[in-house]
């Protein structure tokens, strides 16, 4: 399975692609898309859409895992993250990828074993899971990789449960 995790943001949008085979899990690509706060919002969204489409076309993931926006204390931040998330969902849908959404707590629980883990704990666990020499930076990239690893863990668990249910039905 090949998963592209995306941590949506208008100023900083992290992405991380992870491929899992029977024998290994490998980080294929990770990075950050940035847009200038000096540009109009519509232009920034257009840049984000273009860059996400390019990443999707280049990587061709099976699944896009995106952070589900639940609540932000800053309304302006919530609005821009929501706009970025909408653009990313559109691009993923247009590319034909399966789309899944996870909350930040679900990702933290899956990768760090604790739903309230801090950024550094998540970064360190991603470093271990991805067998990286250094902690992934900035945190947006670690969060995107966390989304991909969360989906792989969730998918593996769901597959085991379905297999067990299937064997009970026989």
Cis geometry, peptide bond prior to residue 123 (ω within 30 degrees of 0) = no
Given a contact cutoff of 8 angstroms between Cβ atoms, the answer to whether 2 and 59 are in contact is yes
The gap between the terminal CA atoms of the chain, to the nearest Å, is 27
Sign, CA dihedral 147-100-45-41, equals: negative
Q: Which residues are catalytic?
A: 7, 67, 140
Given a contact cutoff of 8 angstroms between Cβ atoms, the answer to whether 80 and 88 are in contact is no
């Amino acid at each position: 399975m090949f998963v592209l995790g995306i941590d949506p943001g208008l100023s900083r949008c992290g992405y991380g692609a992870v491929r899992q085979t029977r024998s290994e899990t490998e980080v294929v690509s990770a990075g950050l898309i940035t847009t200038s706060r000096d540009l109009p919002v519509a232009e920034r969204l257009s840049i984000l859409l273009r860059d996400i489409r390019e990443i999707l076309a280049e990587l061709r993931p099976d699944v896009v895992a995106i952070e589900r926006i639940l609540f932000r204390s800053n309304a302006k931040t919530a609005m821009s993250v929501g706009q970025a998330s909408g653009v990313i969902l559109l691009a993923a849908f247009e590319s034909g990828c399966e789309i899944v959404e996870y909350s930040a707590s679900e990702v933290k629980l899956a990768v760090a074993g604790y739903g309230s883990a801090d950024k550094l704990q998540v970064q360190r666990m991603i470093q271990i899971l991805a067998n990286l020499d250094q902690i992934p930076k900035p945190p947006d990239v670690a969060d995107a990789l966390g989304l991909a690893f969360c989906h792989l863990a969730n998918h593996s668990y769901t597959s085991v449960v379905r297999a067990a249910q299937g064997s009970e039905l026989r």
